[in-house]
Amino acid sequence: MAPAIEDPHPAEQVELGFGLVDEDTYADVVDSHVHRVYTDGSKIEGRVGAALSVWKGEAETKAIKLALPPYCTVYQAELLALKRAVDIACKSGAAKVGVLSDSRSALQAVTLSSPHPLAVQTRAALRKAALQRREVSLFWIKAHAGLKGNERADELAKEAALGLRDTISEWDRRYDVGGTAGVTKLFFPSAAAAYKVVRKIDITHHTTQVLTGHGGFAFYLNRFKLKDNPSCLCQPGVEETVPHLLLECPIFAKNRYAIEQKLGMAMTGENLPSALGDKCRDAFLQYCRNIVVVVNQRNSV
Ligand SMILES: [Zn+2]
């Protein structure tokens, strides 16, 4: 059976290509394209997500997260995001829209006549836009270059993959309400500091537990009446909290000694923000994860 939409005869095809956006050309492209859609795909812990971040001028106007079945590839996620972005661009009513993806392979699939159904559909949408005299331009945006819209799409795609909703607004809320940020404030002295680091972390349910204190810890479970006793296994009356586990609990003294040697710093409350710095972060989060796995396990019985 023939696919529902086929590429037209070569003579009828519009010429397709994409421009490059990097640190040098970013400002120009933003200036010349008030309406922009950034796309990204992501695969974390076997889960796949795609995302779109729609911008007008300097502000994001819409964020869309799509969760894909786990057997999908990042390439499929990137293609899906690109297709949706072109659809949005066509329906937006704007005469000129830039669609920016950091996936060169997805852009090539669309522009170099790949038979992939999503690529075929995207080309069809682009042709339709051209017929309506709308200018929908594709750009390959350099990844990991700190370019705002791309960073945002990347973050959304990760959230989509992990099914975490609005992680960043959640951090904001924690700081807004003041005083209740508790554990989070130990790690990040300000919401700005949180943004900076959280962007660089693969947010898993283990790291979220550590950074928020909300998780399978006796103190937290007890607060919600999910456990009779808030105490740690090491000593009755000592609350099993994240700071206790990471900084004091004798049960994890060996792990703590090892990480202190490795990072060259003592595990104290004051040092937690530094432990999340670029040099220490990976090893420190591994230390946290190892503890959380053990604690979750013993509290799940
Ligand atoms: Zn303990």
150 lies in the same domain as 209: no
Q: For residue 141, give the 3-state DSSP assignment.
A: strand
d(CA 275, CA 266): 10
Tell me how far the alpha carbon of residue 296 lies from the centroid of ligand 1, in angstroms. Answer: 13
**Residue 1 is assigned to a structural domain of this protein:** no
Tell me how far the alpha carbon of residue 226 lies from the centroid of ligand 1, in angstroms. Answer: 19
Tell me how far the alpha carbon of residue 203 lies from the centroid of ligand 1, in angstroms. Answer: 25
**Residue 184 is assigned to a structural domain of this protein:** yes
Tell me how far the alpha carbon of residue 266 lies from the centroid of ligand 1, in angstroms. Answer: 18
Burial (0-12, 13-18, 19+ Cβ within 10 Å), 236? exposed
183 lies in the same domain as 150: no
pLDDT tens column, 120-147: 999 999 998 888 888 999 999 998 888 9
Quote the pLDDT of residue 172: 57
Tell me how far the alpha carbon of residue 284 lies from the centroid of ligand 1, in angstroms. Answer: 19
Tell me how far the alpha carbon of residue 45 lies from the centroid of ligand 1, in angstroms. Answer: 29
Tell me how far the alpha carbon of residue 273 lies from the centroid of ligand 1, in angstroms. Answer: 22
157 lies in the same domain as 30: yes
Tell me how far the alpha carbon of residue 169 lies from the centroid of ligand 1, in angstroms. Answer: 32
Q: How far is CA 43 from CA 14, 61, 142, in A?
A: 33, 25, 18
187 lies in the same domain as 260: yes
**Residue 9 is assigned to a structural domain of this protein:** no
Tell me how far the alpha carbon of residue 246 lies from the centroid of ligand 1, in angstroms. Answer: 9
**Residue 80 is assigned to a structural domain of this protein:** yes
Tell me how far the alpha carbon of residue 223 lies from the centroid of ligand 1, in angstroms. Answer: 17
146 lies in the same domain as 187: no
192 lies in the same domain as 135: no
Angle at 166 between CA 163 and CA 168, to 5 degrees: 125
Tell me how far the alpha carbon of residue 74 lies from the centroid of ligand 1, in angstroms. Answer: 41
Strand-pair partners of 235: 232
195 lies in the same domain as 255: yes
Residues 150 and 100: beta-carbon distance below 8 Å: yes
Helix ranges restricted to H, the chain? 26-32, 74-91, 104-111, 117-131, 148-162, 167-176, 183-187, 191-198, 205-212, 218-223, 242-243, 253-263, 272-275, 281-299
**To the nearest whole number, what is the mean pLDDT of the chain?**
86
100 lies in the same domain as 33: yes
Reading the block at residue 155, the tokens are 């973050």
Tell me how far the alpha carbon of residue 239 lies from the centroid of ligand 1, in angstroms. Answer: 8
Tell me how far the alpha carbon of residue 270 lies from the centroid of ligand 1, in angstroms. Answer: 19
147 lies in the same domain as 176: no
d(CA 160, CA 118): 20
d(CA 148, CA 130): 28
Query: Where a domain ends, among 161, 176, 209?
Result: 161
pLDDT tens column, 185-233: 788 877 777 777 877 887 777 888 898 888 889 998 888 777 889 999 9
β-bridge pairing 59-68 and 47-56: antiparallel
95 lies in the same domain as 224: no
φ and ψ of 111, to 5 deg: -85, -20
What CATH number is given to the structural domain containing 43?
Answer: 3.30.420.10
Tell me how far the alpha carbon of residue 282 lies from the centroid of ligand 1, in angstroms. Answer: 24
pLDDT tens column, 22-69: 999 999 999 999 999 999 999 887 788 899 999 999 888 988 888 877
* Helix and strand totals (H; E) in the chain: 14, 8
Q: Cβ of 159: how many Cβ atoms within 10 Å? A: 22
**Residue 6 is assigned to a structural domain of this protein:** no
127 lies in the same domain as 157: yes
φ and ψ of 165, to 5 deg: -95, 130
Q: Residues of the chain with pLDDT > 70: what percent?
A: 89
Number of domains in the chain: 2
**Residue 3 is assigned to a structural domain of this protein:** no
Query: Where a domain ends, among 127, 143, 161?
Result: 161
Domain that holds residue 249: 168-299
d(CA 116, CA 114): 5
pLDDT tens column, 283-298: 999 999 999 999 999 9
31 lies in the same domain as 124: yes
**Residue 8 is assigned to a structural domain of this protein:** no
Reading the block at residue 268, the tokens are 């104290």
**Residue 7 is assigned to a structural domain of this protein:** no
